[in-house]
Structure 1
Protein backbone atom coordinates (compact mmCIF):
# COMPACT_ATOMS: atom_id res chain seq x y z
CA UNK A 1 0.00 0.00 0.00
CA UNK A 2 1.33 3.45 -0.91
CA UNK A 3 2.12 5.48 2.23
CA UNK A 4 0.13 8.62 2.95
CA UNK A 5 1.80 11.83 1.85
CA UNK A 6 3.08 13.88 4.78
CA UNK A 7 4.57 17.36 4.85
CA UNK A 8 7.46 19.07 6.56
CA UNK A 9 8.41 22.73 6.49
CA UNK A 10 11.90 23.94 5.63
CA UNK A 11 13.63 26.80 7.49
CA UNK A 12 12.62 29.21 4.70
CA UNK A 13 8.96 28.23 4.95
CA UNK A 14 8.63 25.84 1.99
CA UNK A 15 6.34 22.85 2.52
CA UNK A 16 7.76 19.61 1.15
CA UNK A 17 5.47 16.65 0.49
CA UNK A 18 7.15 13.34 1.29
CA UNK A 19 6.47 9.62 1.69
CA UNK A 20 8.31 6.95 3.66
CA UNK A 21 8.12 3.36 2.40
CA UNK A 22 9.08 0.68 4.93
CA UNK A 23 9.88 -2.93 3.93
CA UNK A 24 7.67 -5.65 5.38
CA UNK A 25 10.64 -7.80 6.38
CA UNK A 26 13.96 -7.09 8.05
CA UNK A 27 17.12 -7.47 5.99
CA UNK A 28 20.67 -7.42 7.31
CA UNK A 29 21.83 -5.53 4.21
CA UNK A 30 18.88 -3.15 4.16
CA UNK A 31 19.71 0.49 3.68
CA UNK A 32 17.84 3.79 3.56
CA UNK A 33 17.47 5.29 0.09
CA UNK A 34 16.39 8.89 -0.53
CA UNK A 35 15.08 9.31 -4.09
CA UNK A 36 15.12 12.71 -5.83
CA UNK A 37 13.12 13.24 -9.03
CA UNK A 38 14.01 15.52 -11.94
CA UNK A 39 12.80 18.85 -13.30
CA UNK A 40 9.00 19.20 -13.69
CA UNK A 41 8.56 15.73 -12.17
CA UNK A 42 7.20 14.42 -8.88
CA UNK A 43 7.86 11.71 -6.33
CA UNK A 44 5.28 9.37 -7.89
CA UNK A 45 7.71 8.75 -10.75
CA UNK A 46 9.48 6.25 -8.48
CA UNK A 47 6.38 4.10 -7.92
CA UNK A 48 7.54 1.30 -10.25
CA UNK A 49 10.98 1.15 -8.66
CA UNK A 50 10.04 1.44 -4.97
CA UNK A 51 8.43 -2.03 -4.57
CA UNK A 52 11.57 -3.64 -6.00
CA UNK A 53 13.75 -1.81 -3.50
CA UNK A 54 11.41 -2.68 -0.64
CA UNK A 55 11.63 -6.35 -1.63
CA UNK A 56 15.39 -6.05 -1.13
CA UNK A 57 14.78 -4.87 2.44
CA UNK A 58 15.54 -1.18 1.91
CA UNK A 59 13.63 1.70 3.47
CA UNK A 60 12.78 4.22 0.72
CA UNK A 61 11.94 7.88 1.15
CA UNK A 62 10.71 10.16 -1.65
CA UNK A 63 9.66 13.79 -1.76
CA UNK A 64 8.38 16.41 -4.17
CA UNK A 65 11.11 18.99 -4.71
CA UNK A 66 10.28 22.62 -4.01
CA UNK A 67 8.19 24.00 -6.85
CA UNK A 68 6.98 20.52 -7.79
CA UNK A 69 4.06 18.19 -7.14
CA UNK A 70 2.34 18.68 -3.80
CA UNK A 71 5.14 20.85 -2.38
CA UNK A 72 5.07 24.66 -2.37
CA UNK A 73 4.36 25.64 -5.99
CA UNK A 74 6.15 28.99 -6.32
CA UNK A 75 8.95 29.32 -3.75
CA UNK A 76 10.89 32.57 -3.76
CA UNK A 77 14.18 30.68 -3.90
CA UNK A 78 14.80 27.98 -6.55
CA UNK A 79 18.58 28.05 -6.26
CA UNK A 80 20.74 24.97 -6.22
CA UNK A 81 21.72 25.80 -2.63
CA UNK A 82 18.06 25.90 -1.58
CA UNK A 83 17.43 22.47 -3.11
CA UNK A 84 20.48 21.04 -1.33
CA UNK A 85 19.20 22.49 1.95
CA UNK A 86 15.87 20.80 1.30
CA UNK A 87 17.52 17.39 0.90
CA UNK A 88 19.47 17.93 4.09
CA UNK A 89 16.30 19.03 5.91
CA UNK A 90 14.49 15.86 4.80
CA UNK A 91 17.41 13.71 5.96
CA UNK A 92 17.62 15.36 9.36
CA UNK A 93 13.92 15.94 10.05
CA UNK A 94 12.99 12.35 9.18
CA UNK A 95 15.95 10.89 11.06
CA UNK A 96 17.33 9.05 8.04
CA UNK A 97 20.82 8.80 9.53
CA UNK A 98 22.24 8.58 13.03
CA UNK A 99 25.46 10.26 14.19
CA UNK A 100 28.45 8.20 13.14
CA UNK A 101 26.27 5.62 11.38
CA UNK A 102 25.52 6.95 7.91
CA UNK A 103 24.07 4.17 5.77
CA UNK A 104 22.11 6.41 3.45
CA UNK A 105 22.19 6.31 -0.34
CA UNK A 106 21.08 9.36 -2.28
CA UNK A 107 19.51 8.46 -5.63
CA UNK A 108 18.76 11.23 -8.09
CA UNK A 109 17.57 11.47 -11.67
CA UNK A 110 18.44 14.44 -13.90
CA UNK A 111 18.17 17.67 -11.85
CA UNK A 112 17.50 15.53 -8.77
CA UNK A 113 20.82 13.82 -9.38
CA UNK A 114 22.48 17.20 -9.62
CA UNK A 115 21.02 18.09 -6.22
CA UNK A 116 22.16 14.72 -4.85
CA UNK A 117 25.83 15.11 -5.72
CA UNK A 118 25.89 18.72 -4.52
CA UNK A 119 24.48 17.50 -1.20
CA UNK A 120 27.09 14.74 -1.10
CA UNK A 121 29.86 17.29 -1.65
CA UNK A 122 28.57 19.68 1.01
CA UNK A 123 27.56 17.10 3.62
CA UNK A 124 29.65 13.93 3.30
CA UNK A 125 28.76 12.99 6.88
CA UNK A 126 25.12 12.39 5.92
CA UNK A 127 25.51 9.66 3.32
CA UNK A 128 27.85 6.89 2.29
CA UNK A 129 26.90 6.30 -1.35
CA UNK A 130 25.39 7.98 -4.37
CA UNK A 131 23.45 6.83 -7.45
CA UNK A 132 23.10 9.32 -10.29
CA UNK A 133 20.70 8.61 -13.16
CA UNK A 134 21.30 10.68 -16.28
CA UNK A 135 23.00 13.26 -14.06
CA UNK A 136 26.43 14.72 -13.48
CA UNK A 137 28.36 17.98 -13.37
CA UNK A 138 28.13 18.45 -17.14
CA UNK A 139 29.15 21.85 -18.47
CA UNK A 140 27.47 25.28 -18.53
CA UNK A 141 24.96 25.71 -21.34
CA UNK A 142 23.55 29.24 -21.75
CA UNK A 143 20.86 27.94 -24.11
CA UNK A 144 19.34 25.64 -21.48
CA UNK A 145 16.69 28.03 -20.06
CA UNK A 146 15.35 28.73 -23.56
CA UNK A 147 15.24 24.99 -24.33
CA UNK A 148 13.36 24.26 -21.10
CA UNK A 149 10.93 27.12 -21.73
CA UNK A 150 10.26 25.84 -25.26
CA UNK A 151 9.72 22.32 -23.92
CA UNK A 152 7.20 23.55 -21.36
CA UNK A 153 5.46 25.68 -23.99
CA UNK A 154 5.12 22.63 -26.22
CA UNK A 155 2.79 20.92 -23.76
CA UNK A 156 -0.75 21.00 -25.21
CA UNK A 157 -2.38 22.10 -21.99
CA UNK A 158 -4.98 21.82 -20.78
CA UNK A 159 -5.33 18.06 -21.32
CA UNK A 160 -8.88 16.82 -21.53
CA UNK A 161 -8.02 13.76 -19.43
CA UNK A 162 -5.08 12.18 -17.57
CA UNK A 163 -4.89 9.49 -20.25
CA UNK A 164 -4.25 12.15 -22.90
CA UNK A 165 -1.43 13.49 -20.76
CA UNK A 166 0.03 10.00 -20.44
CA UNK A 167 -0.09 9.63 -24.23
CA UNK A 168 1.70 12.94 -24.73
CA UNK A 169 4.43 12.42 -22.13
CA UNK A 170 4.87 8.73 -22.89
CA UNK A 171 4.53 7.52 -19.31
CA UNK A 172 1.49 7.11 -17.08
CA UNK A 173 3.53 8.44 -14.14
CA UNK A 174 3.41 11.92 -15.63
CA UNK A 175 -0.40 11.78 -15.67
CA UNK A 176 -0.37 11.37 -11.87
CA UNK A 177 1.03 14.88 -11.50
CA UNK A 178 -2.02 16.76 -12.78
CA UNK A 179 -4.59 19.03 -11.22
CA UNK A 180 -8.09 19.56 -12.56
CA UNK A 181 -9.28 23.06 -13.33
CA UNK A 182 -12.49 24.31 -14.92
CA UNK A 183 -11.14 23.93 -18.46
CA UNK A 184 -9.17 20.67 -18.10
CA UNK A 185 -6.10 19.05 -16.56
CA UNK A 186 -2.81 20.87 -15.94
CA UNK A 187 0.62 19.64 -14.75
CA UNK A 188 1.35 20.77 -11.20
CA UNK A 189 4.30 22.98 -12.09
CA UNK A 190 4.75 26.68 -12.81
CA UNK A 191 6.64 27.66 -15.98
CA UNK A 192 8.63 30.52 -14.46
CA UNK A 193 9.56 28.38 -11.46
CA UNK A 194 10.86 25.58 -13.67
CA UNK A 195 12.98 27.96 -15.72
CA UNK A 196 14.33 29.51 -12.52
CA UNK A 197 15.31 26.05 -11.30
CA UNK A 198 17.89 25.57 -14.05
CA UNK A 199 19.26 29.10 -14.47
CA UNK A 200 22.33 28.42 -12.31
CA UNK A 201 23.00 25.11 -14.06
CA UNK A 202 23.06 26.95 -17.37
CA UNK A 203 25.85 29.29 -16.32
CA UNK A 204 27.87 27.49 -13.64
CA UNK A 205 30.51 24.76 -13.66
CA UNK A 206 30.12 22.14 -10.94
CA UNK A 207 33.29 20.17 -11.60
CA UNK A 208 34.80 21.32 -8.30
CA UNK A 209 31.79 20.07 -6.34
CA UNK A 210 31.83 16.75 -8.16
CA UNK A 211 35.54 16.40 -7.38
CA UNK A 212 34.76 16.94 -3.70
CA UNK A 213 32.38 13.95 -3.49
CA UNK A 214 34.19 11.24 -1.54
CA UNK A 215 31.68 8.40 -1.35
CA UNK A 216 31.26 5.52 -3.85
CA UNK A 217 29.03 6.50 -6.75
CA UNK A 218 27.14 4.72 -9.50
CA UNK A 219 26.45 6.74 -12.65
CA UNK A 220 23.62 5.36 -14.80
CA UNK A 221 23.06 6.53 -18.35
CA UNK A 222 20.17 5.63 -20.63
CA UNK A 223 21.39 4.29 -23.98
CA UNK A 224 18.98 6.70 -25.66
CA UNK A 225 19.16 9.41 -23.01
CA UNK A 226 20.30 13.00 -23.12
CA UNK A 227 23.46 12.58 -21.05
CA UNK A 228 26.42 12.48 -23.46
CA UNK A 229 28.53 9.33 -23.16
CA UNK A 230 31.64 11.51 -23.07
CA UNK A 231 30.34 13.42 -20.03
CA UNK A 232 29.73 10.19 -18.13
CA UNK A 233 33.08 8.82 -19.24
CA UNK A 234 34.92 11.78 -17.73
CA UNK A 235 33.27 11.51 -14.33
CA UNK A 236 35.65 8.92 -12.77
CA UNK A 237 38.71 11.03 -13.61
CA UNK A 238 37.07 14.12 -12.12
CA UNK A 239 37.41 12.69 -8.62
CA UNK A 240 40.36 11.88 -6.35
CA UNK A 241 42.38 8.83 -7.44
CA UNK A 242 41.00 5.65 -5.93
CA UNK A 243 37.52 7.08 -5.35
CA UNK A 244 35.01 4.59 -6.65
CA UNK A 245 32.87 5.64 -9.62
CA UNK A 246 30.97 2.89 -11.44
CA UNK A 247 29.48 3.55 -14.86
CA UNK A 248 26.65 1.63 -16.47
CA UNK A 249 24.35 2.03 -19.47
CA UNK A 250 20.74 0.83 -19.45
CA UNK A 251 19.62 -0.34 -22.89
CA UNK A 252 16.26 0.67 -24.37
CA UNK A 253 16.05 3.63 -22.00
CA UNK A 254 15.95 7.35 -22.58
CA UNK A 255 16.43 10.17 -20.09
CA UNK A 256 13.72 8.74 -17.81
CA UNK A 257 15.54 5.48 -17.14
CA UNK A 258 13.46 4.87 -14.01
CA UNK A 259 10.28 4.97 -16.09
CA UNK A 260 11.54 3.31 -19.26
CA UNK A 261 13.34 0.37 -17.64
CA UNK A 262 12.65 0.10 -13.89
CA UNK A 263 13.61 -3.60 -13.85
CA UNK A 264 16.99 -3.04 -15.50
CA UNK A 265 17.65 0.04 -13.39
CA UNK A 266 16.85 -1.94 -10.25
CA UNK A 267 19.30 -4.65 -11.31
CA UNK A 268 22.06 -2.08 -11.76
CA UNK A 269 21.28 -0.42 -8.45
CA UNK A 270 21.11 -3.72 -6.58
CA UNK A 271 24.49 -4.81 -7.88
CA UNK A 272 26.04 -1.58 -6.66
CA UNK A 273 24.25 -1.52 -3.29
CA UNK A 274 25.07 -5.15 -2.55
CA UNK A 275 28.75 -4.43 -3.17
CA UNK A 276 28.94 -1.75 -0.49
CA UNK A 277 30.59 -2.76 2.75
Structure 2
Protein backbone atom coordinates (compact mmCIF):
# COMPACT_ATOMS: atom_id res chain seq x y z
CA UNK A 1 0.00 0.00 0.00
CA UNK A 2 1.24 3.49 -0.80
CA UNK A 3 0.65 6.04 1.96
CA UNK A 4 -0.33 9.67 1.49
CA UNK A 5 3.31 10.81 1.66
CA UNK A 6 4.51 8.13 -0.75
CA UNK A 7 5.83 5.71 1.86
CA UNK A 8 5.25 2.08 0.99
CA UNK A 9 3.54 0.03 3.70
CA UNK A 10 4.00 -3.74 3.56
CA UNK A 11 1.55 -6.16 5.13
CA UNK A 12 0.86 -9.88 5.11
CA UNK A 13 -2.59 -11.46 4.97
CA UNK A 14 -3.34 -14.86 6.50
CA UNK A 15 -6.60 -15.89 4.87
CA UNK A 16 -9.43 -17.10 7.04
CA UNK A 17 -12.82 -16.17 8.41
CA UNK A 18 -13.77 -12.71 9.58
CA UNK A 19 -13.85 -10.45 11.30
CA UNK A 20 -10.18 -9.89 10.57
CA UNK A 21 -7.55 -9.41 13.25
CA UNK A 22 -4.97 -6.71 12.45
CA UNK A 23 -1.73 -6.91 14.45
CA UNK A 24 0.83 -4.12 14.93
CA UNK A 25 4.38 -4.87 16.16
CA UNK A 26 6.50 -2.76 18.49
CA UNK A 27 9.42 -0.41 17.93
CA UNK A 28 12.29 -1.93 15.90
CA UNK A 29 10.21 -5.03 15.17
CA UNK A 30 8.17 -6.21 12.21
CA UNK A 31 5.12 -8.27 11.43
CA UNK A 32 7.38 -11.32 11.11
CA UNK A 33 7.58 -11.76 14.90
CA UNK A 34 3.78 -12.18 15.05
CA UNK A 35 3.60 -14.98 12.47
CA UNK A 36 3.27 -17.60 15.24
CA UNK A 37 0.44 -15.55 16.76
CA UNK A 38 -1.33 -15.34 13.39
CA UNK A 39 -0.99 -19.09 12.89
CA UNK A 40 -2.31 -19.80 16.39
CA UNK A 41 -5.39 -17.66 15.70
CA UNK A 42 -6.50 -19.83 12.74
CA UNK A 43 -9.07 -20.08 11.28
CA UNK A 44 -9.40 -16.31 11.75
CA UNK A 45 -8.23 -13.95 9.01
CA UNK A 46 -5.14 -12.07 10.24
CA UNK A 47 -3.25 -9.09 8.80
CA UNK A 48 0.29 -8.32 9.99
CA UNK A 49 1.39 -4.77 9.20
CA UNK A 50 5.01 -3.63 8.93
CA UNK A 51 4.63 -0.11 10.26
CA UNK A 52 6.49 2.67 8.48
CA UNK A 53 10.23 2.60 9.14
CA UNK A 54 10.11 -1.12 9.89
CA UNK A 55 10.36 -4.46 8.13
CA UNK A 56 9.60 -4.40 4.41
CA UNK A 57 7.95 -0.97 4.58
CA UNK A 58 9.79 2.24 3.64
CA UNK A 59 12.86 2.26 5.91
CA UNK A 60 13.38 6.02 6.24
CA UNK A 61 10.01 7.75 5.80
CA UNK A 62 10.00 11.52 6.06
CA UNK A 63 6.93 11.54 8.30
CA UNK A 64 7.07 9.50 11.51
CA UNK A 65 4.32 11.36 13.32
CA UNK A 66 1.68 9.41 15.20
CA UNK A 67 -0.95 10.53 12.70
CA UNK A 68 1.10 9.10 9.83
CA UNK A 69 1.21 5.71 11.57
CA UNK A 70 -2.53 5.90 12.21
CA UNK A 71 -3.31 6.81 8.61
CA UNK A 72 -1.26 3.85 7.34
CA UNK A 73 -3.26 1.39 9.43
CA UNK A 74 -6.54 2.98 8.42
CA UNK A 75 -5.59 2.67 4.75
CA UNK A 76 -4.70 -1.00 5.14
CA UNK A 77 -7.98 -1.78 6.92
CA UNK A 78 -10.06 0.11 4.37
CA UNK A 79 -8.25 -1.59 1.49
CA UNK A 80 -8.69 -5.12 2.85
CA UNK A 81 -11.82 -5.19 5.00
CA UNK A 82 -15.50 -4.34 4.73
CA UNK A 83 -16.34 -4.65 8.41
CA UNK A 84 -14.73 -3.53 11.69
CA UNK A 85 -11.61 -5.46 12.74
CA UNK A 86 -10.12 -6.65 15.98
CA UNK A 87 -7.03 -4.47 16.39
CA UNK A 88 -4.05 -5.80 18.36
CA UNK A 89 -0.77 -4.03 19.13
CA UNK A 90 2.34 -4.49 21.23
CA UNK A 91 4.29 -1.59 22.79
CA UNK A 92 4.55 1.12 20.09
CA UNK A 93 2.06 -0.89 18.05
CA UNK A 94 -0.33 -0.85 21.01
CA UNK A 95 -0.09 2.94 21.06
CA UNK A 96 -0.79 3.09 17.32
CA UNK A 97 -3.73 0.72 17.73
CA UNK A 98 -5.17 2.81 20.54
CA UNK A 99 -5.00 5.96 18.41
CA UNK A 100 -6.66 4.19 15.47
CA UNK A 101 -9.49 3.11 17.78
CA UNK A 102 -9.84 6.69 19.02
CA UNK A 103 -9.75 8.38 15.62
CA UNK A 104 -11.72 5.76 13.66
CA UNK A 105 -14.05 3.91 16.04
CA UNK A 106 -16.06 2.72 13.03
CA UNK A 107 -13.14 0.50 12.00
CA UNK A 108 -12.37 -1.17 15.34
CA UNK A 109 -14.56 -3.88 16.86
CA UNK A 110 -12.22 -4.74 19.74
CA UNK A 111 -8.85 -3.42 20.89
CA UNK A 112 -6.00 -5.38 22.50
CA UNK A 113 -2.94 -3.60 23.89
CA UNK A 114 0.04 -5.71 24.97
CA UNK A 115 2.47 -3.72 27.14
CA UNK A 116 1.18 -0.36 25.99
CA UNK A 117 -0.05 2.90 27.45
CA UNK A 118 -0.97 6.44 26.41
CA UNK A 119 2.62 7.36 25.52
CA UNK A 120 5.31 9.47 27.13
CA UNK A 121 8.94 8.94 28.02
CA UNK A 122 11.99 11.09 28.59
CA UNK A 123 14.64 12.43 26.25
CA UNK A 124 17.20 10.39 28.19
CA UNK A 125 15.27 7.19 27.48
CA UNK A 126 15.12 7.99 23.77
CA UNK A 127 18.82 8.79 23.68
CA UNK A 128 19.66 5.52 25.41
CA UNK A 129 17.60 3.51 22.93
CA UNK A 130 19.20 5.34 20.01
CA UNK A 131 22.68 4.71 21.41
CA UNK A 132 21.95 1.02 21.78
CA UNK A 133 20.76 0.61 18.20
CA UNK A 134 23.71 2.65 16.86
CA UNK A 135 26.09 0.41 18.80
CA UNK A 136 25.23 -2.64 16.68
CA UNK A 137 28.39 -3.56 14.72
CA UNK A 138 26.63 -3.86 11.39
CA UNK A 139 26.88 -5.48 9.03
CA UNK A 140 26.94 -8.76 10.91
CA UNK A 141 28.90 -11.41 9.05
CA UNK A 142 26.22 -14.02 9.74
CA UNK A 143 23.54 -14.86 12.30
CA UNK A 144 26.07 -16.46 14.62
CA UNK A 145 27.96 -13.15 14.64
CA UNK A 146 24.72 -11.32 15.44
CA UNK A 147 23.90 -13.79 18.21
CA UNK A 148 27.31 -13.23 19.80
CA UNK A 149 26.55 -9.51 20.07
CA UNK A 150 22.80 -9.52 20.77
CA UNK A 151 22.56 -12.65 22.89
CA UNK A 152 20.04 -15.47 22.79
CA UNK A 153 16.98 -13.96 24.47
CA UNK A 154 13.54 -14.06 22.88
CA UNK A 155 13.75 -10.50 21.55
CA UNK A 156 17.31 -11.00 20.29
CA UNK A 157 16.23 -14.13 18.42
CA UNK A 158 13.42 -12.14 16.77
CA UNK A 159 15.82 -9.39 15.71
CA UNK A 160 18.30 -11.94 14.37
CA UNK A 161 15.62 -13.79 12.39
CA UNK A 162 14.55 -10.48 10.88
CA UNK A 163 17.99 -9.36 9.67
CA UNK A 164 18.21 -8.39 6.02
CA UNK A 165 20.82 -10.05 3.81
CA UNK A 166 22.84 -7.63 1.67
CA UNK A 167 25.95 -8.22 -0.39
CA UNK A 168 28.27 -7.34 2.50
CA UNK A 169 26.39 -8.94 5.40
CA UNK A 170 23.27 -8.75 7.57
CA UNK A 171 21.54 -5.51 8.54
CA UNK A 172 18.61 -4.68 10.84
CA UNK A 173 15.41 -3.79 9.02
CA UNK A 174 15.15 -0.43 10.77
CA UNK A 175 17.22 2.75 11.08
CA UNK A 176 18.34 3.89 14.54
CA UNK A 177 17.68 7.58 13.86
CA UNK A 178 14.18 6.81 12.56
CA UNK A 179 13.48 4.85 15.74
CA UNK A 180 14.46 7.84 17.88
CA UNK A 181 12.32 10.20 15.82
CA UNK A 182 9.42 7.77 16.09
CA UNK A 183 9.76 7.76 19.89
CA UNK A 184 9.82 11.56 19.90
CA UNK A 185 6.37 11.45 18.31
CA UNK A 186 5.17 9.43 21.31
CA UNK A 187 6.69 11.74 23.94
CA UNK A 188 3.42 13.56 24.74
CA UNK A 189 0.85 11.26 26.41
CA UNK A 190 -2.39 10.85 24.45
CA UNK A 191 -4.67 10.62 27.46
CA UNK A 192 -7.74 12.22 25.86
CA UNK A 193 -7.61 9.79 22.93
CA UNK A 194 -7.43 6.82 25.28
CA UNK A 195 -10.35 8.14 27.32
CA UNK A 196 -12.42 8.42 24.13
CA UNK A 197 -11.94 4.81 22.94
CA UNK A 198 -15.36 3.16 22.86
CA UNK A 199 -14.40 -0.33 21.67
CA UNK A 200 -14.19 -3.09 24.29
CA UNK A 201 -10.51 -3.17 25.21
CA UNK A 202 -8.12 -5.65 26.75
CA UNK A 203 -4.89 -4.37 28.27
CA UNK A 204 -2.28 -7.09 28.81
CA UNK A 205 0.74 -6.47 31.01
CA UNK A 206 3.75 -8.62 31.91
CA UNK A 207 5.11 -8.91 35.42
CA UNK A 208 8.58 -8.34 33.95
CA UNK A 209 7.47 -5.57 31.58
CA UNK A 210 8.40 -1.90 31.41
CA UNK A 211 5.58 -0.34 33.44
CA UNK A 212 5.19 0.15 37.18
CA UNK A 213 2.04 -0.99 38.95
CA UNK A 214 1.06 2.64 39.43
CA UNK A 215 1.39 3.30 35.69
CA UNK A 216 -0.63 0.20 34.83
CA UNK A 217 -3.46 1.00 37.23
CA UNK A 218 -3.61 4.64 36.16
CA UNK A 219 -3.80 3.76 32.47
CA UNK A 220 -6.50 1.12 32.90
CA UNK A 221 -8.55 3.46 35.09
CA UNK A 222 -8.59 6.04 32.29
CA UNK A 223 -10.30 3.72 29.79
CA UNK A 224 -14.01 3.27 29.26
CA UNK A 225 -14.60 -0.45 28.62
CA UNK A 226 -11.37 -2.06 29.75
CA UNK A 227 -10.35 -5.47 31.06
CA UNK A 228 -6.83 -6.10 32.35
CA UNK A 229 -4.82 -9.33 32.41
CA UNK A 230 -1.33 -9.77 33.81
CA UNK A 231 1.03 -12.43 32.46
CA UNK A 232 3.38 -14.09 34.95
CA UNK A 233 6.97 -14.86 34.03
CA UNK A 234 6.81 -12.63 30.96
CA UNK A 235 8.76 -9.66 29.62
CA UNK A 236 7.80 -6.58 27.65
CA UNK A 237 7.87 -8.90 24.63
CA UNK A 238 5.47 -11.41 26.14
CA UNK A 239 4.24 -12.50 22.69
CA UNK A 240 7.71 -14.01 22.30
CA UNK A 241 8.65 -15.34 25.74
CA UNK A 242 5.20 -16.18 27.17
CA UNK A 243 3.62 -17.30 23.92
CA UNK A 244 1.16 -19.91 25.23
CA UNK A 245 -0.18 -17.59 27.91
CA UNK A 246 -0.43 -14.73 25.41
CA UNK A 247 -2.41 -16.83 22.93
CA UNK A 248 -4.75 -18.11 25.64
CA UNK A 249 -5.56 -14.58 26.84
CA UNK A 250 -5.83 -13.14 23.33
CA UNK A 251 -7.99 -15.94 21.98
CA UNK A 252 -10.33 -15.84 24.95
CA UNK A 253 -10.95 -12.11 24.55
CA UNK A 254 -11.41 -12.19 20.79
CA UNK A 255 -13.93 -15.03 20.91
CA UNK A 256 -15.94 -13.88 23.92
CA UNK A 257 -19.51 -12.74 23.41
**Residue number among 235, 238, 248 corresponding to 1:257 in the alignment:** 238
1:166 positional shift: 4.7
The corresponding residue for 2:52 is 66
| Superposed counterparts of 1:109-124, under 5 Å | 109-124=90-105
1:87 aligns to 2:73 (yes or no): yes
Residue in 2 aligned with 1:267?
248
Q: In the TM superposition, what is the alpha-carbon distance from 1:183 to its structure 2 partner?
A: 3.9
1:264 Cα deviation from its structure 2 partner: 0.8
CA contact (8 A) 1:223 1:251 kept: yes
CA contact (8 A) 2:64 2:185 kept: no
Normalized per residue, which structure has more helix?
Answer: 2
Pair 1:154 & 2:139 matched: no
Residue of structure 2 aligned with 1:9, choices 2, 7, 17: 2
CA distance in 1: counterparts of 2:239 and 2:145, whole angstroms:
21
2:36 counterpart SS class: coil
Which residue number in structure 1 is paired with residue 27 of structure 2? Answer: 39
1:16 aligned counterpart, secondary structure: coil
Residue in 2 aligned with 1:189?
174
Q: What SS is found at the alignment partner of 1:159?
A: coil
Alignment equivalent of 2:89, drawn from 105, 108, 124: 108
- 1:74 deviation in Å? 0.8
- After superposition, give the CA deviation of every residue in 1:98-133 in whole Å (9 maximum; x if it has no partner): 3xxx2x111000101100001100000111110001
C-alpha distance in structure 1 between counterparts of 2:213 and 2:15, whole Å: 35
Runs of 4+ in 1 over 6 A off after TM superposition: none
Q: Distance in 2 between matches of 1:21 and 1:220?
A: 24
Structure 2 portions without partners, runs of 5+:
none
How many aligned positions are there?
253
> 1: CA distance between counterparts of 2:92 and 2:107?
20
